[in-house]
A and B are shown apart, each in its own frame.
Chain A
């Protein structure tokens, strides 16, 4: 039910983003989605790739600091209030969202969102209880592949 996300530490200066992306591109690893959180001085690049174990190794060998975390993909209706409804469920259950970002592609009438929860297992439970669709890794990969 959970997706493996890789996070990279990058300094916030020109050219820093390209090098790690080139390193995995050279091994034919495609980025399914990414998000970048940054300050004026540094940034955290978060990536979802199919071959995350291989990518992690490439980053480590390239000297980057990389961290693997579990995130949850949820699809919500791609219409006004779609996301708000999902958030209301999480809020009611007092689940803390560390951060979230949108998946880069839609599927039918749904948008996929990536959530980083403090407690991903409990979040999945709550989402399922409320009839929300948690996207499995295989399903996601098949879909984007």
Chain B
């Protein structure tokens, strides 16, 4: 790939100008050409061969990008059923690397890379790293786990590809991480967003202001996070925080990443086709609406996937970005389809309720969504813990507060919800991921 932009001093540096600013119609043409080739290639994989045969489709069926929708989906279960390496599209001897997904739900799923795949992956990571401030003269500290997890190695190779120096500090031993930062003064930090906050906390415990640490840019990923967390990380560590997206099933980090405008993540469309579908009907959602991301590999050699259902909920935007990149953008991941509720036929994500509550000052962070079906209709109660900031001795104010919250939920999520004000600390606290939904309909079934 070419490096046509000589100006490293520009804040808005584009690593691969020819690929990242390709006119939309050329992106579409390239995707169609690559999709056809990919369909031909995966027809060798037993899973796809059977699926294609069953649906009576083949490479000749792909005449336009719209024909993508004729292709079958691939799910996490499909991957599990064909472990290990049942999705291999090249001879085993051609593999250069094998990684694995974290396997939080049981069987780990392995993903493989040819030497060319590793080069492609480095390129993908280089693009978002450069968009987010990394320059060849920089030093970057990678505080991601190195191992089967794709985060550490993916970012490591991307940094090397840019020509910057890597400190492979790996995850853990936060005091040691801070010592390294003070001694080697890296400009860039790479880790999960929650670990960035741990670093800040630990620095304070050591009696230092975390903002005095040397990093100016941070690339955070590997778990969902929020704009509030971004502000917190940026304020505490005194750096600019960039979001990136990827998953090992379709490569690892590098599917998408933010530019300096921080208005969504640019999708690397020459390597992936990303669809945004209603997880129930599997029909495309209207542009800008939340839906499940479904990703098709266009260039991966070893274990390419067709229409992989990520179960991640996000929004897609096609309007051009002021940074000059022409690629489609995605919002941050706002939820998982596993969390989706269907209320009287309307798809509702807990993140939408949270968004509504964020619009009413003082009503987060403790809330619980309870769904029940007392008769034949679904009923939603959103329990919000009372806090001194929103409490009034006047009943009209309190009822007004309930109505205000209810109106915001109606606007954001399109459902009518009862708002129940509850006493402080009455909603159960969780150490890890908070449980926001209690679906009593399932309990009653």
**Which residues of A are in contact with B by a Cβ distance under 8 Å?**
5, 7, 9-11, 16, 37, 39, 41-42, 44, 46, 63-67, 69, 98-99, 116
Contact = CB atoms under 8 A, between A and B. Distances in A.
A67 B394 CA distance: 11
With a 10 A CB-CB cut-off, give which of A10, A16, A42, A67 has the most chain B CB atoms.
A42
25 contacts: A7-B391, A9-B386, A9-B391, A9-B421, A11-B426, A39-B395, A41-B421, A42-B386, A42-B398, A42-B422, A44-B393, A44-B394, A44-B398, A46-B393, A64-B423, A65-B388, A65-B391, A65-B423, A66-B388, A67-B388, A67-B393, A98-B394, A99-B395, A116-B393, A116-B394
Contacts of B420: 41-42
B393 A11 contact: no
Interface residues of B, number: 18
B423 A10 contact: yes
Interface in B422-443: 422-426
Given A42-B398, A44-B398, A67 B391 contact: yes
Contact of A63 (B398, B421, B425): B425
A44 B388 CA distance: 13
Contact of B393 (A5, A10, A16): A5
B387 interface: yes
Nearest to A9: B386
B393 A69 contact: yes
Interface of B: 386-388, 391-396, 398-399, 420-426
Contacts of B424: 63-65
A65 B393 contact: no
Contacts of A67: 388, 391-393
B338 to A, nearest CB: 30
A101 B424 CA distance: 27
Contacts of A16: 423
Nearest to B393: A7
Contact of A9 (B396, B399, B423, B425): B423
Contacts of B394: 44, 98-99, 116
Contacts of A99: 394-395
Contacts of A42: 386, 398, 420-422
Identify the 4 closest CB pairs spanning chains A and B, nearest first. Answer: A7-B393, A9-B386, A65-B386, A37-B395
Contacts of B399: 39
Nearest to A11: B423
Given A9-B421, A11-B426, A41-B420, A65 B387 contact: yes
Contacts of A69: 393
A99 B423 CA distance: 23
Contacts of A7: 391-393
Nearest to A43: B395
B176 to A, nearest CB: 39
Contacts of B422: 11, 42
A28 to B, nearest CB: 25
A7 B395 CA distance: 11
Contacts of B393: 5, 7, 44, 46, 67, 69, 116
Contacts of B421: 9, 11, 41-42
B423 A44 contact: no
* Max chain B Cβ within 10 angstroms of own Cβ: one of A10, A98, A116: A98
B173 to A, nearest CB: 37
A46 B398 CA distance: 14
